[in-house]
Structure 1
Amino acid sequence: MTVNPVDFASLLCSKLCHDLLSPVGALNNGLELLNDETDEAMRARVFELLNESARTSANKLKFFRLAFGAAGGFGEAVDSREAKLAIEGLVADNKRIQFDWIVEAEKLPKAAIKVVLNLAMIASEALVRGGTLAVGGEETDGHIEVVVQIEGPRIVLDPELRATLTDGARAEGVTPRTAAAYLVHEIVRDAGGRVLVSEPADAVMIFGAVFNAR
C-alpha cells in the first residue's frame, strides 16, 4: 500500500508539531512566569528552564531538518558527523541513554543519512528505561549498510512501528506516529533493499537495513 505524498507530508508535519509542542510550550510558560515573578532566585530558575527549552527546541529542529527535510546545502552526500551531532542533540536531555557512534565513513548519501537518523530516533524511543544506543553504517561496493543496536533493561517497540518498518503501510494507513518508520521503509525499498528488526533478546534489539547506494 502506498500513501499519497500530500497526505504523508501532512503526517510528518503532525509529528513535528507533536514533538516540538512540549519544549516550545515550556518556553511560552516560562515567559509568562517572568512577567509575574519578582523573586530573583525564582527568576534565575525560570531563565535556566528557558535555556533548556530553547536548546531542546533547537536540537530537535536540527535533527528534523536532516531526518525529514531536503538537507539543502549539503549536496548529494552529507558529512556523517552532522548525523552524529543531530543524534547527540536528540538524546541530550535523556541522561539515561548512552550514545555510541560507529560510523567510519566521512560522508554518506542523503538517503542513508535519513535512514540512520530515523532508525536512531525510533530505537531511542524504545529504550523506555534508558540504556545504550549504538549506531553504525558504511558504504561498500555500491551498497549501504545501517545497523542500530539498543540495549537496556526494558525495550518496548510498538508492533505498528515494527510492521511499518519491515512491511510498509498497513491497510489502516500511516499515522503521525508511524510516519518516520514509513519513510525509512520507502527509502530502503526504493533503493532495492529491506529493513529488518530483531526480537528483543537478552535486553538487546537490532535494527538493520541494506540497500543500494545512489
Structure 2
Amino acid sequence: MTFSTELAALMCSRLCHDMLSPVGALSNGLELLADEKDPEMRARCIELLEQSAKISTNKLKFFRLAFGAAGGFGGAVPVEEAQSVIDALVSDAKGVTQNWAISESSLPKPAVKVMLNLAHIALDALIRGGTLDIGAELQGGNVEIVVRASGDRLAFDDNIGRAIQGELAPGELSSRTAAAHMIATLAEEMGGGLQYKKTDTSLVMGAVLPQPEGMIG
C-alpha cells in the first residue's frame, strides 16, 4: 500500500468512526419508533431522531469542507461558510463557548481546511467544556491562523501534536492523527508551517500559510 493510499484509508476510517454514533442512533431510534405505541415515548423517539439527523448533517457538512476537494484547492471560501460548520459542531458539544476573531470576508481554500481541522482538534480536546477561540488574518502576504482551546482536563494525544508539526513517520500514522498529518502536509506544500503548544489548561495551535499568488492583492 502506498503512503497516499494509506492516508486515504486512515481518513476514511476516521470519518466512519465519527459518523457511526449519530447514524447508529438513527437506526436504533427507528427500531424503537416502529415498536413503540405510547404517544409520549413516540414523541421522545422522534426528538432523538431529529437530534441524531442534525448531528449527522453537521458532521457531513464539516467533512465536505474540511477534507473534501469540491471545487479543487484553489480560490477562496467565504468566512461565514467556514464559521457555520464550526458553529454547528460547537452547538452539538456540551459546555463549549466559542469566539471568532476574523475580519476577512474570505480566505484561501487551503487555509480554511487548515483552520477547520485545527478547530476540530481543539473542540475534541474540550471533553469537559471550555472556550474555543478561532482567529485568522491576512498579514504581509501570509494567512495567519490561531486556534485555542481553554478548559479543564484537556484531552490531547501527543501524537496529534507530532503530526501537526510533521514529525510522524508514515508507519506511525493512525486514524486519529491522519487529519493532522494531512494539514501539515498541505501547509508544507504551500511553503508554510504549523505549530502547537499545550499546558494543563490550554492548547494553542497556529499556522502561517503563504497566500496563493492569484489572491495576493
TM-score normalised by structure 2 residue count? 0.92
- After TM superposition, give the deviation of residue 74 of structure 1 in Å: 9.7
* C-alpha spacing 1:168/1:114, structure 2 compared with 1 (3 Å): farther
Task: Give 2:111's aligned residue.
Answer: 112
> What residue is the counterpart of 1:68 in the other structure?
67
List, as ranges, runs of 4+ consecutive aligned residues in structure 1 with deviation greater than 2 Å: 71-75, 167-173
CA contact (8 A) 1:130 1:153 kept: yes
Name the structure 2 match of 1:154.
Answer: 153
Q: Within 5 Å, which residues of 2 pair with 1:1-150? A: 4-72=3-71, 76-150=75-149
3-state SS of the aligned residue for 1:157?
Answer: coil
1:195 and 1:161 map into 2 onto residues whose CA distance is 12
Tell me if the contact between 2:99 and 2:133 (Cα under 8 Å) persists in the aligned partners: yes
Count, aligned residues: 211
Return closer, same or farther for 1:205/1:73 CA change in 2, 3 Å cut-off: closer
Query: In 1, distance between residues paired with 2:70 and 2:170?
Result: 31
Counterpart position of 1:213: 211
Query: Aligned with 2:206: secondary structure?
Result: strand
RMSD: 1.6
Deviations 1:96-147 (A, max 9, x none): 1111111111010110000000000001111121100000011222211000
Greater mean alpha carbon deviation, residues 45-54 or residues 132-141: 132-141
1:34 touches 1:43 (CA, 8 Å); kept in 2?
A: yes
Distance 1:186 1:168, change over 3 A: farther
| SS of alignment partner, residue 177 of structure 1 | coil
Letter in 2 for 1:116: M
Using the TM superposition, give the Cα deviation of residue 82 of structure 1 relative to its aligned residue in structure 2, in angstroms. Answer: 0.7
What's the TM-score, normalizing by structure 1? 0.93
**Deviation (angstroms), 1:204:** 2.1
Q: Which runs of 5+ in 1 are unaligned?
A: none
CA contact (8 A) 1:12 1:176 kept: yes
Instruction: Please report how far the alpha carbon of residue 73 of structure 1 lies from its aligned counterpart in structure 2 after TM superposition.
Output: 8.9
Instruction: Show structure 2 runs of 5+ residues with no match.
Output: 213-217
Task: Find the aligned partners of 2:72 and 2:44 in 1 and give their Cα distance.
Answer: 38
Kept in 2: contact 1:168–1:186 (CA 8 A): no
Q: Which amino acid aligns with 1:211?
A: L
